[in-house]
Amino acid sequence: MFLIVEKIIVGRDRNDMEAFGERGTAFIGKHIVGEGDDAHLTNPVFMDVIRPHTILVTGKKGSGKSYSGFVLAEEIVRQEPEIRNNLAVLFIDTMGIYWSSRSPNEKDRELLKEWGLKPEGIDIRLFVPGGFAKEYEDVGVRVDAPFTVSCSELTAQDWMLTFGFNPLDANGMAVEHIIKTIKSKMRDYSIEDIIYEIENSKKLEAQVKNALTTRFSAAQDWGVFEKRGTPVRDYFMRGKITVLDISHFPRSAGGWSVRSMVIGLLSRKIFQDRLQARKGEEFEVMGGGGKENIPMVWVCLDEAHQFIPTEGETAASEPLLTLVKEGREPGISLLLITQMPNKLNQDALSQSDIVLSHRLTSEADIKALRSIMQTYAAEDIQDYINKLPKQTGAAIIMDDNSERIFPIQVRPRFSWHAGGSPSAIRKRGLLDL
C-alpha cells in the first residue's frame, strides 16, 4: 500500500493550476503539523515560479532568511529546460556569502539524505566590482567578470542622493550644473572627466569645487564607475544565477549610498529592457518573428530595507518601487529579504503576494506584518509564529493567491552556504574549501 501525500502549491491561482498542474513549481520545504515537541513534517510545499511575483522573506538574525532566499534561486535553475531557459536570476549579495554556492553542501549531507536529496553545487556566475576582483582571486575564488557602471547613465539626482547633497543647496545645484554641462559635451564620460569639468568651471566657488572634487575622487576609489559600464544583458543568462557581490563597499552611510546607486541603475535598465522584451514576446505569440531578448527576471535583494526604506530616499528607492508596482507586467519578479520589515517601504510590503516569515520578536516587525495580512488570517500573526518549532528554517508562508497561511520547514540547500557565524574550530574537508 502506497501513501499518496498531497502537494501544497503556493503562489498559483486556479486557472494556472488547471493549465499547468505542478509544472513550474519550486520545492521549498514541508508543511509543519503540530506544535512544540509534537510538531512533525508532512506535505511537501511548492511555490510557483512561472509567473512574476513579489516575495518578502523576513525573520530575525540567524533565523535562516538569507538561506531560504537562495533555496528558491536553486529551484529556479533546476526547472525543466523549457521553463528554466525562459528565466534568469540576479542575486544581489550585500554580505559576500553566495560565492560558495558553486560547492556542494557536504556539511549537511546526512540532513539532505533525510529529505531524499543530495549535495550539489550550483553553476553560478560571480560578478564583483572591477576594483575588487583581485581580492577574490588572491584567496582562490573564481570571478567570472568584473562589473562596472557607466557614469553617463547616472543622473545628477543619483549623485546627489549618493553624496547626501540637498538639490537646493550650493553643492546640489553645482552637481546639477556640472552633469548637465558634461552631458552636453560628450556622450560617454568618466569620473576623471567630471572632476576636470569641476576644476575648470568658472561658475563654481572654490569651497564648492573642493566639496565636489573630494566626493567624486572618493567615488573613483570605489572601483565601479567607468566611462563604459557592463551591459545589463551580461547579468542575465538564461537558466543561470548571476551573483552580483556588492559587499566590499564600507558598511557605512557612504558604502550603502554606492550600493544604492548601483542597484538603482540596474533596476532602471532591467525595467526598460524587459518592457522592450515583452513587446517582442507578444509579437512572437501573435505569429510574428521572434528575436533574442533578456528572459523573465528574478531580482533577489538581501537587506532590502537599506534600499527602499520606510523613511527617507536612496538612489535605489524610485527604481525599485517601480519594479514593485509595475514589474509584473513585463515579467520581473522581486525577492526582498530583510530582518526588519518595519523598516521596509510600505508599498513593498503591501505589494508582496507571498510572505515567508521566519521567527520575529520585535513588536514593530510583527506590527508591520499585521498591516499586510488579509482577512483570511484566522489568528494573530504572533500566534502563528509562536507555534513554530524553535529551529532554524521554520517559518510561516502567507499566500495571497490561495488566501492561506502554512507553517513550513524550509528544505536544506543543495549548495554550500557561507553565511552564519564563523568558528575557531575548523573541520578539514568541511570548512576548508
DSSP letter string over 234-303?
GG--TT-EEEEE-TTS-SSHHHHHHHHHHHHHHHHHHHHHHHHHHHHHHHHHTT--------EEEEEETT
Residue 137 pLDDT greater than 60, yes or no = yes
Residue given cell 548601483 in the structure block: 262
Position 48 scores a pLDDT of 97
- Domain range 8-148+230-410, its CATH number among 3.30.2130.30, 3.40.50.300, 3.40.50.970, 1.10.3720.10: 3.40.50.300
**3-class secondary structure, 28:** strand
Q: How far apart are the first and last CA of the chain?
A: 45
The secondary structure of 39-58 as a DSSP string is -EEEEEEEEE-SS--EEEEE
**Between these two residues, 288 and 163, which has the higher pLDDT value?**
163
Parse the chain into domains and list their residue ranges.
Answer: 8-148+230-410, 151-226
Give the helix/strand (H/E) hosting 394.
strand 394-399
Residue 431 pLDDT greater than 50, yes or no = no
Please tell me what DSSP assigns to residue 403.
T
Residue 251 pLDDT greater than 70, yes or no = no
Residue 290 pLDDT greater than 70, yes or no = no
Beta carbons of 157 and 167 less than 8 angstroms apart: yes
Cell of 175: 552637481
Residues 6+ apart with CB under 8 A from 53: 11, 328, 333, 334, 353, 354
Position 288 scores a pLDDT of 59
Amino acid at site 255 = G
Residue 430 pLDDT greater than 50, yes or no = no
Q: Please choose, from the candidates 344, 300, 243, the residue with its C-alpha nearest in 3D space to the C-alpha of residue 69.
A: 300
Beta carbons of 208 and 171 less than 8 angstroms apart: yes
Residue 336 pLDDT greater than 90, yes or no = yes
Q: How confident is the model at residue 282 (pLDDT cuts 50, 70, 90)?
A: confident
Amino acid at site 399 = D
Position 414 scores a pLDDT of 96
Give the helix/strand (H/E) hosting 184.
helix 170-185
Compute the average pLDDT of residues 158-183: 93
CA-based R_g, the chain, Å: 23
> Looking at the chain, how many residues does it have?
433
Beta carbons of 186 and 243 less than 8 angstroms apart: no
Position 307 scores a pLDDT of 96
